[in-house]
Amino acid sequence: MIYKLRLPLTILCFSLLFSGCSSSQLTDLFSSYYQQVRDAKHAQQQGNFNQALKLLPEKSEFDASYNLYLLEQGRLHYLVNQYQKSENAFEHAYQLVQEENNKAKIQLSKGVENAKAIMSNDNATRYDVPAYEQSMLHSYQSLNYLYQQNLSAALVEVRRANLVQESALNDNKNVLYQYQQQLLQQGVSEQNWTNNLPSMDNTIGEIKNGFQNAFTFYLSALLYEAAGQSNDAYIDYKKALEIAPENQFIQHDVWRLANQLNMLNDITLMKERFSIESLTEANYTSAETGQVVLIFEQGIVKSKSEYSLNLPIYTSHNDMRFYSVAIPSYANYLTEYSPARVSFQEESFYAQDLVRLQSLAAKQLKEDMPMIVSRQIARLITKEEIRQQLSRKNGDIGNILASLYNIATEHADTRSWSTLPDSISICQFSLPKGQQTLTVNINGIVKEISVLVNENRKTLITMSAIGQNTDYQSINL
């Protein structure tokens, strides 16, 4: 018997979904991002950064994940000191972010994307670069400019990084409330879905939100000081200290500039908050010495995985049924790193944490969960309606086709900037001027660094430790 399918709705849906799709776009729909970048991440973990570049999944400018591809590319070019190529990739990614932030253009361009997402999954929509990734984009771009001897352009980037965090702080609560209300309208109480979520609390730790990053504020303060803008530097050192209050190097910087700028109220507050003895023990730059600042990156952030969440959902016919929706999640643990140790002659200095990007990523995902669950429910209800229509019109064949399609496309959006470091820490101290040799022990690997110290100036060293690979760059500020 030959079945003649009367499926105008199916034809419309599938033509909408697949029209103009490239092979990479179809890959996004049916394959998780983790699977796509697994080989590239493995090469990065082995320290083969050029190989990782070659293994990145190719994306065109029409792909929903093209901006993410540019971020991965920019990071890997940075790791092999290809600063101009990294700059170009990040600049292109930034322009795409700006386009997405243009509300009028979003409304015009997102219609077809959202329709595709309703029929498939969130991977069909343009990757929405979260605030912590945007701030890291600008932070790395500032370092690209800095290592190309362009301090003024580097300062523009750190200002952009700070603006991202300020905007996120203002917008976050409104967006969260909007999607919480949408879930209630869909008949799903917060308790129904939050109790069944995989925990990420161990990964998140004590951080307050998923977008404020002490590293970006510290880097901007460092560059402001290099440009002679002490007041701006002081403001951002204080912001970094608010996020990372236990970091004694930042405490010393705030104390030093508070005294230099005669901030009497802040000096009084710091005396009450911190041990004055530890603050005054700082090895400050003085005559015949200069300060060395080391920024250490360790590891790589983990990728998101997919988790099935069972929810009681009311269909359009007001029937309550339990459905399984696919959501992204992070592993509920942090990789432990020994603090980097820097030795000079008989002295040793230990790095202190600035940020765990893995924690920011998990916190951001947790904050986004109402939006993710709400979209998944809307998608599930729509797909179920279509399945029922096809079943009524075409019997078992329509039901089977729709069910198979729904299973094939039910994937969580596991996209994230996966080549970022996991942990960033800092160490700083004063050394005699001239060419000096430091011994660094990081992740059990010992490396000697030759550094030129200028009198009453700072020397910045950035070091990346990934697996057994360690590399560094230095510049006199």
Taking only the tens place, the pLDDT of each residue in 236-293 is: 999 999 999 999 999 999 999 999 999 999 999 988 888 766 676 554 556 789 999 9
Q: Residue 105 has which token pair?
A: 């253009």
User: Which residues does 383 contact at the CB level (< 8 Å), separation at least 6?
Assistant: 119, 402, 406
Mean pLDDT lowest among 95-104, 299-308, 335-344, 443-452: 95-104
Structural contact between residues 391 and 457, judged by C-beta atoms closer than 8 angstroms: no
pLDDT single digits (tens) 325-349: 788 999 999 999 999 999 999 899 9
In the chain, the domains with their CATH numbers are 8-476 (1.25.40.10)
| Position 10 pLDDT exceeds 50 | no
| Position 459 pLDDT exceeds 70 | yes
Q: What is the 3-state composition of the chain as percent helix, strand, coil, each rounded to the nearest 5? A: 55, 20, 25
| Position 370 pLDDT exceeds 70 | yes
pLDDT single digits (tens) 167-201: 887 776 666 666 666 666 666 666 666 777 889 99
Supply the pLDDT for residue 189.
65
| Position 136 pLDDT exceeds 50 | yes
Query: 3-state DSSP call for residue 230?
Result: helix
Structural contact between residues 305 and 34, judged by C-beta atoms closer than 8 angstroms: yes
* Distance set, CA 447 to CA 106, 207, 332 (Å): 49, 32, 32
Q: Give percent of the chain above pLDDT 90.
A: 55
